[in-house]
Structure 1
Amino acid sequence: MNMFRLIPLTAAALAACHAAPAPQKPPLAGARIGGPFALTDQDGRPFTDRNLAGRYRIMYFGYTNCPDVCPIDMQNVGAAMRLLDTSDPGLSARIVPVFVTIDPARDTPAVLKQFVSAFYPRMIGLTGSAGTIAQTAKDYAVYFQKGAASAGGGYLLSHSRQAYLMDPAGKPLALLPSDESPQAVATEIRRWAQ
């Protein structure tokens, strides 16, 4: 065999061994999470999923009276968005963080406005009727249940804890590590939002 013929074949074989890996598919690609909704925003205006068309969104379900988990998660999401505001303002401008209450009886638009504005100025707070909230939570695979009322009438809600990163068409991409650092949240957003 001609030695000069062997060199191109060897080079081609080595190149095949070190080919760039195929782009990774988002972990939630194809999952049945999300869907259309019609709720009310923190300014008392009607707000639907169509208001978010063409933009990435972070969807989180919780409630403003949550004693620990929801404020921590929203603080991390808000801080991650501020990191992106500085490091990648173009990407940040295409992302909308959304907080959907699971406690519409107490979380009025005014209450939501105060809550979301404490974490990030472009965060949207959404509420609606109990039935609409229950259906929206179900569409997003979010569990919640109202606990027993205390002697004073207060109550807690147990709920699942997830922050979804959704693509501009409203399809799920990934779960964000909202229980970790703002840097971890920002890193995951950069990984999946293009």
Structure 2
Amino acid sequence: MRRRTLILGGAGLAGAFGFTLGLGAWRSGDLQGSAPDATAANSRADLSRMAWRLIDDRGAPVGPQDWLGRASMVFFGFTWCPDVCPTTLMDIADWLEGLGPDADRIGIAMITVDPQRDSPAVLAEYLSNFDPRIRGLTGTPDAVATAAAAFGVTYARVPQSDGDYTMNHTSGVFVFQPSGELASVIDFHEERRFAVPKIRRAIG
């Protein structure tokens, strides 16, 4: 059974989360801290100076300039991620709830680090289990690498003993001002009482 189906199917995401978190501890290095944190990524990231081009989960082309004029939250992940990515997506949904009406004033995107498996359709299916305001972005391996480099994000394919593979990647959520300047980085599993004020300041 595909790991993504295992995470999202059955009794639903909420019921499966506790199980997949434990399973993911040995299937991925993320819980052991091998995934570099976004605080160590490019602190000078600026959307207005980036030049990547990707495709969203609806098949539309997207570039960093498309996000200017509105606050943005961006993180890197992949749909087969057993722990960090679903946790981050649920955290984002919680932050959006905490923002109230202001949540509609910010764009949110997950950029895949696994374009080989994460097509627009796969991203759309996966993200339908979370807040509908979160968009997924993918592209060719080179296009994804260009975007990751612009953010100062690192990722690596990690082979598994069963012939499958997982991905180690920078965790954390980049928060940008409407001008495109990086406002802050929300660390993995940062508490809502700290995360929401950071987002509000970026929204202005």
Range class of TM-score, shorter chain: 0.7 to 0.9
Shift of 1:149: 4.3
* Distance in 2 of aligned mates of 1:162 and 1:52: 19
Name the counterpart of 2:190. Answer: 180
1:164 aligns with 2:174: yes
Q: Deviations over 1:129-156 (max 9, x none)?
A: 00010111011011100011443x3211
Structure with greater helix percent: 2
Any runs of at least 4 consecutive aligned residues in structure 1 with deviations exceeding 4 A, and if so which? none
Q: Deviations over 1:77-120 (max 9, x none)?
A: 12211221x2xx1x322201110000000011111112223221
* Distance in 2 of aligned mates of 1:172 and 1:140: 10
Structure 2 unpaired stretches of 5+: 1-38
- Aligned-partner SS, 2:153: coil
- Aligned-partner SS, 2:165: coil
* Distance in 1 of aligned mates of 2:202 and 2:68: 17
Name the counterpart of 1:4. Answer: none
> Bigger radius of gyration, 1 or 2?
1
Name the counterpart of 2:153. Answer: 142
Tell me: CA distance 1:36–1:140, structure 2 relative to 1, closer, same or farther (3 Å): same
* Distance in 1 of aligned mates of 2:127 and 2:76: 12
Name the counterpart of 2:111. Answer: 100
TM-score of the aligned structures, taking structure 1 as reference length: 0.76
Structure 1 unpaired stretches of 5+: 1-26
Shift of 1:189: 1.1
Equivalent residues of 2:155, 2:169 under 8 A apart: yes
Shift of 1:128: 0.3
Q: How does 1:44-63 map to 2 (within 5 A)?
A: 44-63=59-78
* Distance in 1 of aligned mates of 2:190 and 2:44: 25
* Distance in 2 of aligned mates of 1:31 and 1:179: 19
* Distance in 2 of aligned mates of 1:190 and 1:168: 12
Amino acid at match of 2:174: Y
Q: Deviations over 1:44-74 (max 9, x none)?
A: 1211222212111001001111110111011
CA RMSD, 1 decimal: 1.9
TM-score of the aligned structures, taking structure 2 as reference length: 0.73
Name the counterpart of 1:130. Answer: 141
